[in-house]
Amino acid sequence: MTAVCVPAPPAADDATLIRRSLTEPEVFAELFDRYAPAVHRYAVRRLGPDAGEDVVSETFLAAFQHRHRYDLERADARPWLYGIASNVIGKRRRDEVSLYRAYVRSGVHPAEVSGGLVEHQADTLAVNRPLAAALLRLRAGDRDVLLLTAWAELSYEETAAALGIPVGTVRSRLNRARKKIREELEDRHG
C-alpha cells in the first residue's frame, strides 16, 4: 500500500507573519500557536506548573506590543521570543530557586508526568539532584545561557541573539556553567 503524502503548503516564515500582524494584529495568534506550547514547557521546567501560562501570557503580550521592533531580517522568531521569556522568567527568580530547592529535597518536579527516561528512577535521581543543586548555584546569566541551549535547543548564535550578548559570551558562560555542574556531580559521586 502506498501512503499518499500531500505536502503541506509552505508556511509563512515568522518574520512575514509578524510583518502581516502590523496591519492585521490577529495574525500574531499564529505565532502564538507555533511557539506557545514550547515556551510554556520551558517555563514550567524552570518555574513549575503554576507559572507556565502566566509566563506565556506575558511573553506573547510583550512580543505583540513590541512586534514593530522585530528585526524582519530574522525569519525565525524563536530567539526573540525566548529572549523575552528569559526576561519574564528572570523576574520570578525566587520561584525558580524555590523549585530547584524543593527538587533537591524531594526529588520530585511537580510538573513531570513520568521519569521521561529509561534510566532507573534511583539512578536518575542520583544525577538529577546534584544537577538541580548546580542550577541553583549558577549565576542567572549563566543559567539562562545553559537552559536556552539545553532546553530551548537554541544554537549559540540564537542564544546570543535571544539575550543580546556576543556569541563569545555565550560560549564562556556555557563553559562556566558546565564546569560548575561537573564539579557538583563529582562532589556527589565523589
Question: Do 101 and 148 contact (CB within 8 A), yes or no?
Answer: no
**Using rule CB under 8 A, residue 92 touches other proteins:** no
User: To the nearest whole angstrom, how small is the minimum distance from the Cβ of residue 94 to other proteins?
Assistant: 18
Hey, is 70 helix, strand or coil? coil
DSSP 114: S
Site residues (CB under 8 A) for other proteins, limited to 133-172: 146-147, 149-151, 162-164
Kindly tell me which residue out of 78, 86, 148, 173 binds other proteins, with binding defined by CB under 8 A: 86
- The residue among 92 and 163 lying less far from other proteins, judged by its C-beta, is 163
Kindly tell me which residue out of 51, 60, 89, 145 binds other proteins, with binding defined by CB under 8 A: 60
Name the region of 155 (left: φ>0; alpha: ψ -120 to 50; beta: rest).
Answer: beta
- The residue among 6 and 110 lying less far from other proteins, judged by its C-beta, is 110
> From the CB of residue 175, how many other CB atoms can be counted at a distance below 10 Å?
12
Question: Do 130 and 187 contact (CB within 8 A), yes or no?
Answer: yes
- Residue 65 grid coordinates: 506590543
Q: Which string of x and - marks every residue 103-122 that binds other proteins (by CB under 8 A)?
A: ------x-xxxxxxx-----
Per rule CB under 8 A, count of chain residues that contact other proteins: 73
Using alpha carbons only, how large is the chain's radius of gyration in Å? 19
Kindly tell me which residue out of 78, 89, 96, 132 binds other proteins, with binding defined by CB under 8 A: 132
